[in-house]
Structures are given as structure tokens and as C-alpha cells.
Amino acid sequence: MAGSQETFGKKEREKKRLKKKKDKLLKKEERRASGQESEFIYVDEFGQLTSTPPDPSKKIKVDASTIEIGIPKKEDREEEETADKVGKVSFFDTSKGFGFIIDTTSQEKYFVHVSGLLEEIKENDKVTFELERGLKGMNAVRVKKV
């Protein structure tokens, strides 16, 4: 005849599980007795956490079709300024084929690649350029010396 399949380890795990369940019920009863019965926290119309439910008269109806999920298409986005900007080449590495241009009006740095050049440039040259959106931000394109 085969012996029992219930081992000492199984018995101990079952005892622990039952003890946890009993402790959880005791804690629940203690919370009810102390008045901490409310398990819900609500958010009011100003975004603050409260213990009272929201007023249904202040509920706002939202049309689900107006919610835009994801990045808008390129046609839908507003176009960036395409007017020529003036700047100064702060860094350009001819061996690697890229550099940076600082806009003289806004003092912003823009990445420039050798493929966006109309003429050869070097550091400290004054240049005019246009901006295009790249993968990591705005890039200077159609760059030429002033």
C-alpha cells in the first residue's frame, strides 16, 4: 500500500497559509472597530484626494472620439519657422561630418550634418540656415556662409 502524499513541508505551508488568512481577517475586524472602514479614496474636480465621494452634479461629459492617443500626424502638426536664421558655427568636425550651430538671436544650439551643407564651413563661421525636425530635435539644414 502507498503511504500518505502529505509531507511535513506541505503541512507547514498549509498552516502558514491558514495563519495568514486568520491574521488578515483579524486586521480587517480591528479596522472596522476603530472606524477606518472606508477603503476608498476619491479625487475631487481639482485633483485633490478626499474621503467623500464626488458630487454627481459636477460631472463633465467627455466625448471619447476627441481624445487623441499617440503622436499627431506630420500634416496635423504646426509647421516650424522655415525662414532663414543666422548663426555661428560653434563646433564642426570635418572627419566625422557633423557639428553644432548657435543661433544668434535665441542662443540655441542646433545639430548640423555634412549632408545639410550647401558650402564648406568651419568653426566660428557666420552662417544662415533653416530648421527641420530630426529624430532627436531640430536640425540645421541648407547651411551656407554669410
Residue 102 CA neighbour count, 13 Å, CB half: 8
More confidently predicted of 8 and 127: 127
* 34-91 pLDDT tens trace: 765 566 888 887 888 888 888 888 788 889 888 888 876 666 555 555 568 999 999 9
Q: What is the largest CA-CA distance in the chain?
A: 100
pLDDT at 47: 84
Which residue from 52, 30, 29 is spatially nearest to 40, judged by alpha carbons?
A: 52
User: How many CB atoms lie under 10 A from the CB of residue 121?
Assistant: 21
Local confidence band at 2 (pLDDT 50, 70, 90 cut-offs): low
pLDDT at 54: 82
Q: What is the DSSP letter of 35?
A: T
pLDDT at 1: 53
Give the chain's mean pLDDT: 86
Range with top average pLDDT, 6-10, 47-51, 53-57, 100-104:
100-104
pLDDT at 60: 81
pLDDT at 68: 80
Cell of 28: 480587517
* Residues 25/28/33/34 CA torsion (nearest 10 deg): 140
Instruction: Report yes or no on whether pTM surpasses 0.95.
Output: no
Cell of 62: 467627455
Contacts of residue 95, Cβ cutoff 8 Å, sequence gap at least 6: none
Residues 139, 132 contacting (CB under 8 angstroms) = yes
Across the range 90-115, mean pLDDT stands at: 94
Domains and CATH numbers, the chain: 10-60 (no CATH), 85-145 (2.40.50.140)
